[in-house]
Amino acid sequence: MTSLRSIQGGNAQRLVASRLPFHFSKLQDPESLIRRVLESSKRAGDFKTATKAHARIITCGYWAKPPLSASLVSAYVRCHQIGLAERVVHHVLSWCRNLLTLNIFLRDLLSAGQCGVARKLFDKMPERDVVTWNSMIGGLTRNGRFHDALASFRDMLALDVEPDGFTFASVFTSCARVGFLSHALWAHGLMIEKKIEPHFILNAALIDMYARCGKIQVAREIFDSIQRGDVSVWNSMINGLAIHGHARDAITVFSDMEREKVSPDSITFVGILTACSRCGLVEEGRMYFDSMRSRYSIQPEIQHYGAMVDLLARAGSVDEAYAMIKEMPTKPDAAIWRTLLSSCRVFKRSRLGEVAIANIPRRKSGDYVLLSNTYCSLTRWDSAAKTRNLMTRKGVGKNCGKSWIELAGEIHQFRSGDRSHRETEALYEALDELIKRTKMAGFVPSMELVLMDVADEEKEENLNFHSEKLAVAYGVLKSSPGSEIVVLKNLRICYDCHCWIKLVSRILIRTIVVRDRLRFHQFEGGLCSCDDYW
């Protein structure tokens, strides 16, 4: 196997002569070709081609070009050559002391998704400025490393590096995705303390943060109090209302946007179509989808088609949703087929579900579970068993439901049937008491949702220990009467838990908020803000 030393030493010319294609050296723009070769080798995991490009970078003297070095690192990581990737970083550090160049290299590594290697570069940089920290925090945020981004922000503060508005924009986005209000209040309070002047990017992130942390009223107050000349601010408000299921309010904001002569963009229409989907406003959704092209000359992208498929399929128009998928000008992605598959389970369309799963590349556990559950809902136990056996043969495990609750600054996580918590005994006593009280109030478990051919007693026990029930019970156990309980969940809330929490909110006279994978549910007085449509 070719080593980095052989590429960087006297063998580089030999490697170029023996391995690179003839036309490589004939092009007038070798830098552009190297970049394309690296992208190709990364996609294919082709280590041999990556070494060819590496040799050419050396012979052409392109080490001072951060984008090429970052692409090379990314290619080596994709080829499972972590050691070589880290040596490239070390080599760049060995000759480069220019902060601007290193900042660009760091940014490009993070843009390529190489967070681990980027962190090693960051830790070894001889100096850092606010741009360095912003690149690190923003890159971690864009790559879904929200807790790491917040940890880096705390490190930045501990070293007395003053954040700016761009820092806080990334921090607000991470707080939004983490979803706990205490994080949002801390970050917002710090921004005010630092006297950071808000700009439209910061305002948009602030609105999004409060909306995703469950405080849509606060988000609306901020929106109403600021200048709204930029479309991103309107998009944050519309999307925030959409995830809370306030479709009519989202439509009103869109109308205000038109009246104030702010032109919507493609993101605006993703938000408004999502809002229509969450509340089953099919005709309104069709109207907005058509107006994108006819009124605003915005061509629908795959996200818009996905929102329309979701809208139609949720409303029961499964065949129309499938027809739209077949007529799409671009190839539908896995998310669209999963949307159709989910509706096939709800509306018991097993044959169409088989079509959907056949079109999903790199199937995940949830895809097989949805199809299996569709068979179970039709009591086709043999087909369901075959699907589960196929999961076992492929080594695909079922995604575990997880829920989180924050109390007194501490985050408590629960899995379905979890008994690892330090207060497990008290937790299950509280849950048993709530189950007894809800049954006395008329609650009947939805045992048909436990789609297994087992006894009813086993089905009921399975339902009782869902992660959101454990989190709610712990919230009741540890919080004062009348206070709001906020739970976050990684999957969609199930019908049984939804009905159960509605009843708990009525019995205890408490507001319970659950943010699941798609939206917010606010339970109060035995009702839910979603009007039982989710």
What average pLDDT score do residues 301-305 get? 96
Rounded to whole angstroms, the Cα distance separating 34 from 44 reads 15
98 vs 498, more confident = 498
Q: For position 463, what pLDDT does the model report?
A: 76
> Which pLDDT score is estimated for 398?
66
CA of residue 337 relative to chain centroid, distance: 18
For 127-157, write each residue's pLDDT tens digit: 999 999 999 999 999 999 999 999 999 999 9
| C-alpha separations of 422 from 392, 412, 472 in Å | 32, 10, 16
Q: Once rounded to an integer, what is the mean pLDDT over residues 428-457?
A: 77
Q: Delimit the domains of the chain by residue range.
A: 1-127, 309-399, 403-528
Higher-pLDDT residue of 91, 182: 182
Q: Tell me what the pLDDT averaged over the chain comes to.
A: 87
Nearest to 402 by CA among 379, 378, 376, 421: 421
The closest alpha carbon to 474, from 524, 409, 426, belongs to: 426
Residue 455 has pLDDT above 60, yes or no: no
Neighbour count for residue 294 (Cβ, 10 Å): 8
Q: Which whole number is the average pLDDT over 245-264?
A: 96
Q: pLDDT-derived band of residue 15, with 50, 70 and 90 as boundaries?
A: very low
Amino acid 297: pLDDT: 95
- At 63, the pLDDT band (50, 70, 90 cuts) reads low
Nearest partner of 199 among 236, 239, 233, judged by Cα: 233
Asked if residue 405 has pLDDT above 70, the reply is: yes
Q: How many CA atoms lie within 13 A of 309 on its CB side?
A: 28
What is the biggest distance separating any 2 CA atoms in the chain, rounded to whole angstroms? Answer: 82
Higher pLDDT, 199 or 67: 199
Strands 527-528 and 512-515, bridge-based pairing:
unpaired
Does 475 score more than 80 pLDDT? yes
Measured CA to CA, the distance from residue 475 to residue 484 in angstroms comes to 9
Residues 275 and 25: their CA atoms lie apart, in Å, by 54
Confidence of residue 519 (pLDDT cuts 50, 70, 90): very high
Look at strands 410-415 and 402-407 and give their pairing: antiparallel
Q: Is the pLDDT of residue 323 over 60?
A: yes
What is the per-residue pLDDT across 208-252, written as a single tens digit (0 to 9) for each? 999 999 999 999 999 999 999 999 999 999 999 999 999 999 999
Q: Which of 145, 191, 143 is nearest to 169 (CA)?
A: 191
Q: Tell me, letter by letter, the H, E, C secondary structure of 508-524.
A: HCCCEEEECCCCEEEEE
What single DSSP character describes residue 533?
-
* Tens digits of residue pLDDT in 108-123: 889 888 899 899 999 9
